[in-house]
Structure 1
Amino acid sequence: MSGASRHYVLAAGGTGGHLIPAFALAVELERRGHHVALVTDERGAKIPGKPDFMPAHVLPAGRLAKSPVALLKGLSAIWQGRAMALRLFESFEPSCVIGFGGYPALPALLAAHSAKIPTVIHEQNAVLGRVNRFLAKRVDAIATAYGEVDRLDPKLWGKVHRVGNPVRPEVLALRGEPFPEFTEDSLFRVLVTGGSQGASVLSEVVPDGLAMLPPALRHRLQVTQQCRPEDLEAVRARYASHEIPAELGTYFEDMQSRLAGTHLFIGRAGASTIAELTAVGRPAILVPLPIATDDHQAANTREMVSAGGARAIRQTGFTPKELAKQVQAMAQHPHTLANAAHAAWNCGLPNAVSDLADLVESFGGEPIMDVIRVDTRSAAPAGQEQLA
């Protein structure tokens, strides 16, 4: 292949956490004139948001389980997927194969390695995932979202590029907007979400915790909360009993417009959530999912908490009283909340998708200048810098 237009294969596991950054990269690469194909599993092919221009190839994806029978079954599926990926590469001729983690990415990356096609992996979390850990020594470059990544062999730091997590354009557009006005008299808008399915612990704790706030804060509350369908009516009754205005739903289509007006976020610490909070500059109280693999959600909170943009509460200690204490500490004065918003904003990496695309384009074409190892975040106050 010659010229500016090249072919790239993106391989990602069947969850939104793996596929959202893959979709964002696909849009950017297509905008730059390249052709992009997706490799995933059956579950991943059904995740909403896939760009129409990108064909999806479903490959078998086995898991490496401990049971001998399950292990053999998993290895067989991986080998079958690898063979199918090699056939795809023969016709599509990718310049590079980019993996976003998850077992469905494994066969494609193994096939690329054997075919001597350049490979890049992107790690969304602050802990290197199992598949990326397995591939790390074999790939040409490792793109990370955090400056500190657990389970990453220090010997491999020479090929690490910190780019961040790609964020949806409609959310990124909010980065240049000021933090919503928050005074002693204004509404106090709180957004509560628990990931794609909501989280029952948030439904149980948050209404009672917010009810324990001092009257000066409690009487100004305006809550938006995502709940599981089975929790909806019980949560509505709790807010009604506390006389706190709350809009509840199982899914909000216009999450970016709700985030735009939010003063404080309460929820899980998934990679996409933190990327959006830091892109926009919204302070948060984060409750890491305790069953997350390698406790990666707790690791995801470190940078934002250290900067002063968030507070983290382990689920075992997430009680109404503790929540009320932390909310009051962040919001008792208008300037404390604004300062936390500014600290969160400073953690954002708004150029993640273009930096990742630059890295990917450096394989299979003309060499480009490696400018993305340098941390280029601006320290300008939130709302005072427009994106170029």
Structure 2
Amino acid sequence: MTGSNRHYVLAAGGTGGHLIPAFALASELERRGHHVALVTDERGANIPGKPDFLPAHIIPAGRFGKNPLKWLEGLRAVLEGRAMALRLFKNFAPSAVIGFGGYPAFPALLAARKARIPSLIHEQNAVLGRVNRLLARQVDAIATAYPDVKRLKPKYAEKVHLVGNPVRANVMALRDEPFPHLSEDGLLRVLVTGGSQGARILSEVVPDGMAMLPPALRQRLQITQQCRPEDLEQVRRRYSEHDIPAELASYFDDMDERLADTHLYIGRAGASTIAELTAVGRPAILVPLAIATDDHQAANTQEIVAAGGARSIRETRFTAKELAKQIKALAEQPQALATAAHAAWNCGRPHAVSDLADLVESFGGADMMDVIKVGGNNARGASQGAAVAQGAAT
């Protein structure tokens, strides 16, 4: 195996938040001439968007909940998963193993330590996840999506690299496109999503919030909303009662095209959502999931909110009246949305996938890279951002 053609194993739990950046990295490494394999669970092996070239290896992944009676069962699964990963590593001979969080990453990274294979983890959220906390001490590098990551101990600072959160190539292709033109009386396109499973609170609050807007603003609305299948008819009826045009579905397979035309996003604050909003530059009203582990969705909003690219409303305060108030503040003046879009754009880290791939390639090749340390990533493309903002304002 030559220095320009190496093998890497990516390990991630079966949710989009973990797998979207893993898929992006796999595609970049494959483009550079490397061979990549995925370790995951059954959900991850079948999730939409997995590259055709990427083989998926399903391993057991024990869960350790609050019930001690199930810990032994979880430990057995971890040990079985580690054994399976060791067999894979023996045949595949990876230069490094990269974990993206989720339970399947745990036995895979334990196997890497056992086999003395270099390893690193990527944290998508602004709070270090449970599995990544368990692995932080033993891995060789920690890649982060935010400059400030809670629950990441200061003693690990020397091996922390800020790279950002990789996003899908078709979304990243929109980064240099101007913010959609919006005149004072033009159509206002609003995109509403609630994560892969939708969010009932959005179905309950958003239609009534739109109805409370001033008539002149309400008449300009064009809503695209993702809903749970069981909520579709109710939401459709409520928009119809308010005479607001809305396209509803439980899943949109052309989300990049929807995002391209969007003037305002309303929805959850998952890591992939924030990464895509900042990659493209779209203003948002974010409603962090209240039951998210360690309140990580609220933490995810802090950077973009502080920059002026989004507003965040806690679930306990997310009412139709409050939503209407926030939409009115953003949307009554087209320039306000364009300014917020530019602020969101400036929070993006468009080189996330290439920076992460550079870091990965430093294992088994050149010495560990000492760039992309916290604070240096946003300088690239600043002049480009000004051009995007200028296009947004015209």
Displacement of 1:361 = 0.2
TM-score, reference length from structure 2? 0.96
The residue number in structure 1 matching 2:239 is 239
The residue number in structure 2 matching 1:95 is 95
Displacement of 1:217 = 1.1
The residue number in structure 1 matching 2:120 is 120
Question: Would the aligned equivalents of 1:178 and 1:382 in 2 still touch at CA under 8 Å?
Answer: no
Aligned AA (2:207): P
Structure 1 Cα separation of the partners of residues 3 and 119 of structure 2: 20
Q: What is the DSSP-based 3-state SS (H/G/I as helix, E as strand, rest coil) of the residue aligned with 2:26?
A: helix
Question: Would the aligned equivalents of 1:178 and 1:383 in 2 still touch at CA under 8 Å?
Answer: no
Structure 2 Cα separation of the partners of residues 318 and 339 of structure 1: 24
Q: Which runs of 4+ in 1 moved over 4 A?
A: none
Q: 1:292 to 1:249 in 2, by over 3 A?
A: same
Aligned AA (1:226): Q
Identity %: 74
Is 1:71 matched up with 2:64?
no
Displacement of 1:201 = 0.6
Structure 2 Cα separation of the partners of residues 67 and 227 of structure 1: 33
The residue number in structure 2 matching 1:149 is 149
Displacement of 1:335 = 1.1
The residue number in structure 2 matching 1:138 is 138
Displacement of 1:185 = 1.4
Question: Would the aligned equivalents of 1:176 and 1:383 in 2 still touch at CA under 8 Å?
Answer: no
| Aligned residues between the structures | 386
The residue number in structure 2 matching 1:375 is 377
Displacement of 1:155 = 1.1
Displacement of 1:68 = 2.7
Aligned AA (1:116): R
Aligned AA (1:93): A
Structure 2 Cα separation of the partners of residues 207 and 381 of structure 1: 36
Aligned AA (1:107): P
Displacement of 1:366 = 2.4
Is 1:297 matched up with 2:300?
no
Is 1:159 matched up with 2:159?
yes
Question: Would the aligned equivalents of 1:304 and 1:347 in 2 still touch at CA under 8 Å?
Answer: yes
The residue number in structure 2 matching 1:269 is 269
Question: Would the aligned equivalents of 2:348 and 2:378 in 1 still touch at CA under 8 Å?
Answer: no
Q: What is the DSSP-based 3-state SS (H/G/I as helix, E as strand, rest coil) of the residue aligned with 1:380?
A: helix
Structure 2 Cα separation of the partners of residues 100 and 275 of structure 1: 15
Is 1:227 matched up with 2:230?
no
Displacement of 1:235 = 0.6
* CA deviations over 1:178-230 (Å, ceiling 9, x no partner): 00111211111100000111111101100110111112211111111111111
Structure 2 Cα separation of the partners of residues 213 and 129 of structure 1: 39
Q: What is the DSSP-based 3-state SS (H/G/I as helix, E as strand, rest coil) of the residue aligned with 2:185?
A: coil
Question: Would the aligned equivalents of 2:85 and 2:107 in 1 still touch at CA under 8 Å?
Answer: yes
The residue number in structure 1 matching 2:392 is none
Aligned AA (1:380): S
Q: How does 1:102-117 map to 2 (within 5 A)?
A: 102-117=102-117
The residue number in structure 2 matching 1:347 is 347
* Cα root mean square deviation, aligned: 1.4
Displacement of 1:256 = 0.8
TM-score, reference length from structure 1? 0.97
Is 1:18 matched up with 2:18?
yes
Q: Which runs of 5+ in 2 are unaligned?
A: 390-394
Q: What is the DSSP-based 3-state SS (H/G/I as helix, E as strand, rest coil) of the residue aligned with 1:38?
A: strand
Q: What is the DSSP-based 3-state SS (H/G/I as helix, E as strand, rest coil) of the residue aligned with 2:265?
A: strand
Displacement of 1:272 = 0.5
Structure 2 Cα separation of the partners of residues 270 and 380 of structure 1: 28
Displacement of 1:138 = 0.5
Bigger Cα displacement from structure 2, 290-299 vs 368-377: 368-377
Displacement of 1:116 = 1.1
Question: Would the aligned equivalents of 2:346 and 2:378 in 1 still touch at CA under 8 Å?
Answer: no
Aligned AA (2:75): L
Question: Would the aligned equivalents of 1:5 and 1:35 in 2 still touch at CA under 8 Å?
Answer: yes
* CA deviations over 1:315-336 (Å, ceiling 9, x no partner): 1110000000001111121111
Q: Which runs of 5+ in 1 are unaligned?
A: none
Displacement of 1:380 = 3.3
